[in-house]
Amino acid sequence: MSMRRSSIGVFDSGFGGLTVLKALLEVMPDADYLYFGDTARLPYGSKSSETVARYAVGASRYLEDRGAEMLVIACNTATALALDRIVEGASVPVIGVVEPGAERATAASQNRKVVAIGTEATVSSHAYHKALEARGVEAREKACPLLVPLVEEGWVEHPVTEQVARIYINEAFADDFRTADVLLLGCTHYPLIKRLLQRVLPANVTIVDSAESTANAVSKKLNITPLAAPVGEERRSHPRLRFYATDSVEKFRRLGSRFLGHSIEDVEHINLKE
């Protein structure tokens, strides 16, 4: 068992990946975290896989240079479009959000039918479809492009958001997928509206959150049991959190705290060379 704290790098195009960080902190409060939000170049959802791969590889290198011993690609779009390229360019282990989410959804489904929702880019990559079908599960993917801006607006319990979600969900659970029993959240913004989604879903549907699933996969991979402090070092009860953002630090603090559930202190503005 490793006797020192792990340093985990978390990468996302913006704020959504903070729900993955939040889940990681719940599962592994004893690690240290570096979070990279590429806020100047978001959204990734509308960019080509070539561009996304280039951005993601650059950010991953940055996190490795800062001491990350493992990379978590907390962005569904970057995972869906560029995971292979990131893995290829990295010299530390890499975990994306798609496989853990698909794994968990498969375990949760009795009917072998799962609906996955996400951004346009994630859905058109069919990453979840492939991952679920490979596990013998029938999958339907549904792009829900209006949900991200509503969540970023802070409208997580708003009637408008509920109405939009209801329309998407009714379309997704139509016809052959009336009997689907799992909704897989294939976008890191969606955990913020989990309660609202539960209200508009058929009663028998379980929500699987790829953020939570990813945190569990990371702890398994690191084989983390609570770490003992090295001899002579005080055991720190709090994780060290460092944030890097490519756009406004103020905006990152303001929006980010909503996703993380508490205030964000240590944010550094960085410019990545193109």
Give DSSP secondary structure letters for 163-213: HHHHHHHHHHTSGGGGG--EEEE-STTGGGGHHHHHHHS-TTPEEEEHHHH
Domain-located, residue 239: yes
Cα dist from 165 to 2, 77, 117, whole Å = 44, 20, 11
> Could you report how far apart the first and last alpha carbons of the chain are, in Å?
40
Last residue of a domain, one of 163, 181, 210: 210
136 shares a domain with 66: no
pLDDT band at 224 (very low <50, low <70, confident <90, very high): low
Residue 1 has pLDDT above 70, yes or no: no
Cα dist from 56 to 9, 100, 135, whole Å = 12, 19, 27
Which helix (H) or strand (E) element contains residue 64?
helix 49-65
Domain-located, residue 2: no
The answer to whether 74 and 20 are in contact (CB under 8 A) is yes
246 shares a domain with 163: no
Domain-located, residue 11: yes
173 shares a domain with 112: yes
pLDDT average, residue stretch 204-220 = 96
Q: Which of 145-149, 160-164, 224-228, 264-268 has the lowest mean pLDDT?
A: 224-228
166 shares a domain with 245: no
| Position 3, amino acid | M
49 shares a domain with 72: yes
Q: Residue 272 has what pLDDT?
A: 82
Domain-located, residue 17: yes
Of 76, 128, 83, 82, residue with least CA distance to 97: 76
The boundaries of the domain holding residue 108 are 98-210
**Domain count of the chain?**
2
192 shares a domain with 128: yes
Q: Which pTM does this prediction carry?
A: 0.91
Active site annotation includes 75 = yes
Task: From the candidates 187, 218, 222, 267, give the one annotated as an active-site residue.
Answer: 187
Residue 2 has pLDDT above 80, yes or no: no
Residue 182 has pLDDT above 50, yes or no: yes
123 shares a domain with 105: yes
The answer to whether 11 and 71 are in contact (CB under 8 A) is yes
CATH code at 58?
A: 3.40.50.1860
With both helix axes pointing from N to C terminus, report the angle between 18-27 and 249-260 in degrees, rounded to the nearest 10: 50
110 shares a domain with 164: yes
As given in the structure block, the two tokens for residue 90 are 């990295």
133 shares a domain with 51: no
pLDDT average, residue stretch 62-69 = 96
198 shares a domain with 102: yes
Domain-located, residue 1: no
pLDDT band at 236 (very low <50, low <70, confident <90, very high): low
pLDDT average, residue stretch 136-163 = 96
Task: From the candidates 20, 52, 75, 184, give the one annotated as an active-site residue.
Answer: 75
Domain-located, residue 195: yes
218 shares a domain with 164: no
Residue 39 has pLDDT above 50, yes or no: yes
150 shares a domain with 47: no
- Could you give the CA distance from residue 97 to residue 128 in angstroms, rounded to a whole number? 10
Strand pairing category for 113-118 and 138-143: parallel
pLDDT band at 273 (very low <50, low <70, confident <90, very high): confident
As given in the structure block, the two tokens for residue 267 are 């944010």
Active site annotation includes 144 = no
With both helix axes pointing from N to C terminus, report the angle between 98-108 and 210-222 in degrees, rounded to the nearest 10: 110
